[in-house]
Amino acid sequence: MSQSGEFSTAPVPRPAGPVTTGSPPPRASEATRLLCAGVYLDPGFRRRMLQELVEHGERAVAPSLGIDVVTVLAHALRSRGRETATALWVLAIWVVFAVCDWVVAKGTPFVGVSAFAYAFPCLLLWIAAVAGGRGGFDVYGAGPRATLGGQRLWRVRVALGMRLVAYVYMAFYWVAALYFLTQGLWTAVVFPLLLVWPVWAYRLGMEKVARDELSPAAFPGAAPPGVPEPYQGIAAAIAHEQYSRLTVYDFDRPFVGYGIPHEPWSLAVELKRRPDAPGGERLTSRKVVELILPRLAALRDATAAGSRDRLRDLEVAHLVYLPPPPQRGDVRRDDAAVDQHVGGSVDEGGEARRYFLRVRVGAWSELVVVTILVRVHTQGGMLVLEVVPHVLPPVRPEFREIDRLGARTGGARTFTRALLSAPTASIASVVSMCGTLASVLRAWLADAARLPGEGPAASVRELGASPQISLFQRMDVSRYVKTVRDRIASGVTEALRESGYETGEFEQYIVNVNEGGVYIGAMSGGAVASGQGATATARTDGGAGGAGS
């Protein structure tokens, strides 16, 4: 703090870069690969992602932790384009089916009967698939099957009943179609078989992508697909924002992108000078941060030198949260602008612009990400420390179905799968195309370039996250959080000591946080018990009350 009372805006020392011993870049991480697979396997995930990134182009992208959103976006747009192309071929075959059916059967009692007769069981099978939790791409026979756990029993029964009716009806249809063929009415046989061709071609393309681009061996070296020209501006904005140290946030959801909060805590202690401490410059948030940084760097370096623990890749960065700008592109993100924001916000303690020290550990090939956000206040004679850990769970395990697709090599098995799934896919592809057209129309009507800027409402990484985390992963998360928390507490304690302040109360608070105990600054009379089954007895003979936990 200067003599005039103004906070210093000098640059805060940058943390040393992370140790990168063998860690893949975010574009080639396992989390990125599985999310790219997810846009092919789960149209619901792809639809929600494109809604956030494309339909709401006025929103800043959420921080990308261990993934590359541009690569996922490129695969999502290509996947949607291929499904649309497949749907156009299917729709064209349906139209020609109906026209030829009318022309060939003209003059007979069966004019126009075949097309509508075949469409009915196809529609029943599609409705049954949706009711049974297997809508979307799964109707092509390649996607992961959704579990029925938690769905209402009536939906399962309805799906099974409709599927049974459809199969019985389909059997009668083919018996009738073969009879019509003997009468010269060939449309009832030819066109249902023609509908298999676009589905088969789509499946072959999917297997090629899974094998040549999204397999564990091919993905790190494979170039991502190009982003179509209409979306290149969005892709450029995402690339500019996703790893920036300036984060535009939504007031209602400030920590979008970091996952699930994991035991956040804060404490406030009064700054009291030690009686033997000489007078000096008061403690500032900047000094606390500067003393935390070397302890985190030492933790990372020591781990890198002696083990393969993921703490060797610990990343530390200055992060500034900014309110939404007038428009999305109005935030300068060059190094000079970022350093200016960091230098100005680290000590100001403002409400809208907020400084955090971000500590990140990407574990399990970036499938589990632990992020700890630290904020320090030293104003009004108080020290306030806020520590907000977050955990990103693994990417959904069903996206690993892409590896099963990559193991297939086409041939008779692929054709048979296409033959069996074509009735449902012939309806689902057209429905999917209608959804794509609606999305494109919404994006055009929104005219995001003219809308005021907004913070992110959803994160691609969170949309693709699993609700489950394994016991091993939970143990690792706990260890990372406790270790980093210890280094943070050590840095704050040293800052207090060097500035001549008492550390006893702060250290007691840290014991409370670390061990789950109860810290009481002062007490007169009464008794305290903590923990399940604990007891406490107040004594009047001057002795201490008994307590157990």
Of 220, 214, 212, residue with least CA distance to 403: 214
Indicate the Cα dihedral angle 477, 483, 484, 488, nearest 10°: 150
H/E element holding 369? Answer: strand 368-377
Q: How many whole angstroms separate alpha carbon 197 and alpha carbon 291?
A: 66
Residue spans per domain, the chain: 30-233+397-463, 260-392+470-518
Question: Phi-psi region for residue 349, left (φ > 0), alpha (ψ -120 to 50) or beta?
Answer: left
SS3 (DSSP) at 520: coil
Three-state secondary structure readout of 475-494: HHHHHHHHHHHHHHHHHHHH
- What is the residue type of 398? E
For the chain, first and last CA: distance in Å? Answer: 46
**Exposed / middle / buried, residue 296 (Cβ in 10 Å: 0-12, 13-18, 19+):** buried
H/E element holding 431? Answer: helix 411-446
Residue with tokens 């001549």: 500
Q: How many whole angstroms separate alpha carbon 23 and alpha carbon 534?
A: 47
What per-residue confidence (pLDDT) applies to 533?
47
pTM of the full structure: 0.84
Question: How many Cβ atoms are within 10 Å of 215's Cβ, its own excluded?
Answer: 18
Of 404, 426, 417, residue with least CA distance to 141: 417
Note the maximum CA span of the chain: 112
SS3 (DSSP) at 515: helix
What per-residue confidence (pLDDT) applies to 112?
59
What per-residue confidence (pLDDT) applies to 547?
39
Structure tokens at 61: 């992208």
Of 525, 502, 526, 529, residue with least CA distance to 517: 529
Point out which residues pair with 376 in neighbouring strands.
385
Three-state secondary structure readout of 100-121: HHHHHCCCCCCCCHHHHHHHHH
Q: What is the mean pLDDT of each run of 10 residues along the chain (549 residues)?
A: 42 51 67 95 92 93 93 96 94 91 68 80 86 57 46 70 86 86 82 93 92 93 91 93 91 92 88 77 84 86 78 87 90 87 85 91 89 88 90 93 86 87 89 92 89 92 92 91 89 86 82 53 38 45 41
SS3 (DSSP) at 59: strand
What per-residue confidence (pLDDT) applies to 538?
45
Point out which residues pair with 13 in neighbouring strands.
none
Q: Are 265 and 387 in contact (CB under 8 A)?
A: yes
